[in-house]
């Protein structure tokens, strides 16, 4: 059974008098443990699709099964539970709370599970360490670089140990060097057994996923299997140092991957 199953999903935006058809009969299936990228030109509906997947946005028709559960008609409480425990969302614009420290931001999802502050902060510190930002715990987002903010956001998305990570252009606001560090981090998360869906514009980012879903004007154009390795076979969930993704066969990314892994604090300190 797929972890994510979309059947004939349609979504409209009302713009003035008429409706904009943003998603047209979209069918998507994503298996547990997959790492998938969604590509397409600007305005093709990538973010809309990801928001629907993350239960951040509603759709107008079709069926969305998340781990077999129909999402339509889910109560607000159950939806909140899914967002909290099942899904981790990573935004292009980070969406950190500016008045909270990195540690408090990472700990926030646990607040809604009723976990004590002490335990929250202890776990948050562990996850900040995983993304290499332990010494930045007490800094507010305004004192962090874009890459650091995104790593804080990733730590936040991971802290509830979700089964699905959704990332909307997580590298969109970052330079290529920092982008590689973030992609290393996502690859590592995937290697830990978590299903990852990444929206991206960048071919080399997409190339590091197992499968690319292409959208054109709200329709699925092609589904191409990417040529990247599939670490999903190793379902080890142990936090032991997972190897950085081995260089892909794609020539364009192989060099950059190998060079980027070594200086990346995220991949070095993980585990």
Ligand X SMILES: Nc1ncnc2c1ncn2[C@@H]1O[C@H](COP(=O)(O)OP(=O)(O)OP(=O)(O)O)[C@@H](O)[C@H]1O
Q: How far apart are CA 89 and CA 270, in angstroms?
A: 20
Q: Who contacts 214 (Cβ-Cβ below 8 Å, separation ≥6)? A: 38, 39, 40, 220, 221, 222, 223, 224
Interacting span for Mg ion (CB under 5 A) from 40-48, 132-140, 142-150, 177-185? 40-48
Interacting span for ligand X (CB under 6 A) from 39-47, 62-70, 102-110, 143-151? 39-47
Residue 18 has φ and ψ, to the nearest 5°, of: -105, 165
Does 51 help bind another protein (rule: CB under 8 A)? Answer: yes
Q: Are 183 and 214 in contact (CB under 8 A)?
A: no
Map the footprint of another protein across residues 150-169, applying CB under 8 A. Answer: 156, 160
Does 77 help bind another protein (rule: CB under 8 A)? Answer: yes
Helices (H) and strands (E) in the chain, counts: 9, 10
Interacting span for another protein (CB under 8 A) from 75-83, 129-137, 186-194, 213-221? 75-83
- 3-class DSSP state of 170: coil
Q: Choose which of 7, 85, 139, 201 interacts with another protein (CB under 8 A).
A: 85
Does 43 help bind ligand X (rule: CB under 6 A)? Answer: yes
Closest CA to 156 of 126, 199, 115: 126
Task: From the list Mg ion, another protein, ligand X, none, pick the one residue 256 interacts with, judged by a Cβ distance below 5 to 8 Å according to partner type.
Answer: none
Q: Choose which of 19, 80, 203, 224 interacts with another protein (CB under 8 A).
A: 80
Binding site for Mg ion (CB under 5 A): 47
């Amino acid at each position: 059974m797929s972890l994510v199953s979309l059947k004939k999903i349609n979504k409209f935006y009302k713009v003035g008098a008429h409706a904009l058809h943003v998603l047209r009969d979209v069918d998507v299936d994503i298996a547990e443990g997959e790492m998938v990228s969604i590509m397409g030109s600007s305005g093709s509906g990538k973010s809309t699709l990801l928001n629907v997947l993350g239960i951040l946005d509603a759709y107008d028709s079709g069926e969305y099964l998340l781990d077999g559960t129909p999402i339509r008609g889910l109560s607000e409480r159950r939806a909140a539970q899914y967002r909290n425990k099942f899904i981790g969302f990573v935004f292009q614009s980070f969406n950190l709370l500016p008045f909270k420290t990195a540690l408090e931001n990472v700990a926030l999802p646990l607040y809604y599970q009723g976990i004590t502050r002490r335990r929250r902060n202890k776990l948050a510190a562990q996850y900040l360490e995983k993304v290499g930002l332990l010494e930045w715990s007490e800094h507010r987002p305004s004192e962090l670089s874009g890459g650091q903010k995104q790593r804080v956001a990733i730590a936040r998305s991971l802290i509830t140990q979700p089964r699905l990570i959704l990332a909307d252009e997580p590298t969109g606001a970052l330079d290529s060097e920092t982008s590689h560090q973030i992609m290393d981090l996502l690859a590592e998360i995937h290697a830990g057994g978590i299903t990852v869906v990444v929206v991206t514009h960048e071919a080399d980012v997409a190339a590091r996923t197992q499968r690319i879903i292409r959208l054109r004007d709200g329709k699925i154009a092609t589904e191409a299997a990417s040529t990247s390795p599939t670490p999903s076979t190793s379902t080890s969930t142990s936090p032991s140092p997972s190897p950085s993704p081995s260089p892909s066969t794609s020539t364009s990314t192989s060099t950059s991957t190998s060079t980027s892994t070594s200086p990346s604090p995220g991949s070095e300190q993980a585990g």
